[in-house]
Amino acid sequence: MLSLVMQRRVEHVKRGGATLLITLTLLTLALSQPRLEYTLTIPPIEAQRFQIAIRVSHPESKPLRFVVPAWCPGWYLLMDYEQDIINLQARGKRGQPLAIRQTGKREWTITEPDPEETVLEYEVRLRGKAYSLFYSYLEEGEAFVNGPSCFLYLDGHTQAPITLSVNARPEWKIATGLTPANQPNVFTASDYDELIDCPIQIGNFWQTAFTAHGVQFEVVIAGSPDARTRDRWVDELKKVATTTLALMRRAPFRRYLFLIHAHNIPFMGGLEHRNSTVLNVGASSPSIAELAAHELFHAWNVKHFRPAVLGPFDYTREARTKNLWFAEGVTQYYAYLILRRAGLVDEEGFLRRLAAEIEQLQRNPNRLKVSLAECSERVWEARNSMGYGGVNYYNKGCVVGLLLDLKLRAITGNRRSLDDLMRLLMERYGYPKLGYPEDGILKAYSELAGQDMSAFYARLVESAEELPYQEVFAEAGLELTQEQGRYRLHRTANPTPAQQQLLNSWLASLPSAGALNRPTRLAARLSLQPEHEQQAQCKQPARPQRNREAGQARQVGIGRDRGGQRQRHHHPRKGERIEPGGKRHLLTLCFRRVEIRTERGCQRTCQPACCRPLREQRAQQ
């Protein structure tokens, strides 16, 4: 048990003209946390199972209840992980068997644990790489570990630190966002949230690394794309990472891993994690830039700042929020913006993508029946992790993000944009602060606009009425037209000087890297805490980044694979597959899905990329 004695002395307190010397002693006893050691063993491929052991040293409570998550953060659908947890056994420190029984759909209980040490052993049945975003697999030459599908948690102790040991073939490499310990193949996690939000790639894979604005990025590719394809992907990732960091100005991670599965499986897409992303793409995919931009931006939007219900997690039930449209749809809008700002698409290609989103929405009659707020909150009932009632919050959320951005630019004379909203949410609600309340986005948006935006926001988010395209586009100097039944978004013929300035700013390519060296004026204007004050709060100086050994990586992310091909071509979103003939199908999943989110910022020690401005990170290099 850890006992913390905190003394606070309040001196010279004046009451009624008298100066009192008051000493307040606050005694805080931290909750007793047992030591948790997880061991993952990778058996021969024929087994198609993982072997897991959880060692609990000095448990101070009984019984011990172990639970498998009901969902996987980032995937808003209940999963059936409990069906794959088999052959559970428990033993004490001296090897004596302990009674264990299933006490719920997803829980197992050891009624009389060994007070010195109790070990739970079980196996996880694997399902193959087809759904490797949410499940685990073991194939020839490689294995992938999705945390929620494999690791049970000790109820009441999800905040306890964890050590994970991996037993695999000696020639295999390991890539994960977990922190390496001082022993080979041993990693640490600050708590259970971090453990399962760091997927693990094990085996033979190709890897490289690069640095953007002083932040290290690692790329791991499992599969067999040719060298030219790999090089093209890495070049795209460099541009995406550089542009995104310039946009957000601070990174909520010390290092970041792009974990790419190039396996040509039916289910394509990605899943976000706190400092990594998993991308499922075809081995010959011409581009992964859009999918990577979407997933990387999730490191901020939904991982670092998120709806309050999405962290800390309750893994036993659905986490309902009306703001998934913002977490996913606005993230997709930023995926397009990042492609444009990175120079990966030209102005025409950027506007064409937005017009395609508008066209998809306008051809959907359900847009006039279900609001964005409702389709976000009730997505759990639809069992598709994309929306409810026929409305896709990726699609409509992207369009609403466009309208919110242009409206804010127009009413503030282009002094404010959605970029400022993202930075404001990061400052105000970024981890480890609490997530934003259900009305947090509206309040921040109105604050930036300098006026009450409730009516406009309600029309876009809370109602199912037609979106005000012409009103917003006219203010911004844009026109939405139809040509042969296809929507087209383009500049007006004769924009005003103000509209021209707005459009040039919005449609500009790569932002100046100097933006990283300029202090953010937003904090001072909106009474936010400046970055240097945040840094001063940290009790210990930031430790310099350490190079990890080869084969150690990061975590994962989620989104859609909609590459940059010019021809009209549908790219799969989460939960979709496309047959060779181009036919679209929404996968009817016979399993449940889970959603997972977590991001670590500054705790007791300031991490280099946590609460320091990026310009200071660069100075450390």
Q: What is the pLDDT of residues 3-59, one digit of tens each?
A: 222 323 333 333 333 333 323 232 233 446 789 999 999 999 999 999 999 999 998
Mean residue pLDDT of the chain comes to: 82
Domain layout of the chain by residue ranges: 35-204, 206-621
Residue 295, pLDDT > 90, answer: yes
Residue 386, pLDDT > 60, answer: yes
Least confident of 47-61, 274-288, 405-419, 564-578: 564-578
Report the distance separating Cα 365 and Cα 386, nearest Å.
17
Q: What is the pLDDT of residues 238-282, one digit of tens each?
A: 999 999 999 999 999 999 999 999 998 877 899 999 999 999 999
Residue 497, pLDDT > 50, answer: yes
Least confident of 292-306, 434-448, 556-570: 556-570
Residue 129, pLDDT score: 85
Q: In what order do the strands lie in the sheet with 206-212?
A: 206-212, 215-223, 255-262, 276-281, 269-273, 557-559
Of the pLDDT bands very low, low, confident and very high (cuts 50, 70, 90), residue 173 is: very high
DSSP 105: T
Average pLDDT over residues 465-471: 98
Beta strands in 190-254 (DSSP E): 200-203, 206-212, 215-223
Q: Percentage of the chain surpassing pLDDT 90?
A: 72
Of the pLDDT bands very low, low, confident and very high (cuts 50, 70, 90), residue 396 is: very high
More reliable by pLDDT, 18 or 503: 503
Identify the CATH assignment for 35-204 out of 3.20.20.10, 2.60.40.3650, 1.10.3720.10, 3.30.420.40.
2.60.40.3650
Residue 61, pLDDT score: 80
Residue 415, pLDDT score: 97
Q: Percentage of the chain surpassing pLDDT 70?
A: 77
Residue 520, pLDDT > 90, answer: no
Contact predicate 608/617, CB 8 Å: yes
Q: What are phi and psi of 251, to 5 degrees?
A: -105, 135
Report the distance separating Cα 144 and Cα 445, nearest Å.
41
Of the pLDDT bands very low, low, confident and very high (cuts 50, 70, 90), residue 155 is: very high
- Gap between the terminal Cα atoms of the chain: 40
Residue 126, pLDDT > 80, answer: yes
Residue 312, pLDDT score: 87
Report the distance separating Cα 219 and Cα 260, nearest Å.
8
Residue 400, pLDDT > 70, answer: yes
Average pLDDT over residues 188-194: 97
Report the distance separating Cα 508 and Cα 491, nearest Å.
14
Altogether, the residues listed in the chain come to a count of 621
Token readout for 422 is: 């993202």
Residue 591, pLDDT score: 26
Token readout for 16 is: 């009624």
More reliable by pLDDT, 86 or 591: 86
Residue 158, pLDDT score: 95
295: nearest Cα among 268, 340, 328, 266: 328
The 10 Å Cβ neighbour count of residue 611 is 20
pTM listed for this prediction: 0.80
Q: What is the pLDDT of residues 304-333, one digit of tens each?
A: 999 999 988 999 999 999 999 999 999 999
Helix (H) or strand (E) holding 179: strand 179-180
Q: What is the pLDDT of residues 64-121, one digit of tens each?
A: 999 999 999 999 999 999 999 999 999 999 999 999 999 999 999 999 999 999 999 9
Residue 510, pLDDT score: 60
Q: What is the pLDDT of residues 360-380, one digit of tens each?
A: 999 999 999 999 999 999 999
Average pLDDT over residues 566-592: 36
Least confident of 123-132, 391-400, 507-516, 535-544: 535-544
Residue 599, pLDDT > 70, answer: no
Report the distance separating Cα 63 and Cα 65, nearest Å.
6
Average pLDDT over residues 126-149: 93
Residue 596, pLDDT > 90, answer: no
Question: At the top level of CATH, which class does the domain 206-621 belong to?
Answer: mainly alpha
More reliable by pLDDT, 564 or 48: 48
Q: What is the pLDDT of residues 438-466, one digit of tens each?
A: 999 999 999 999 999 999 999 999 999 99
The vertex-333 CA angle with 326 and 269, nearest 5°, equals 85
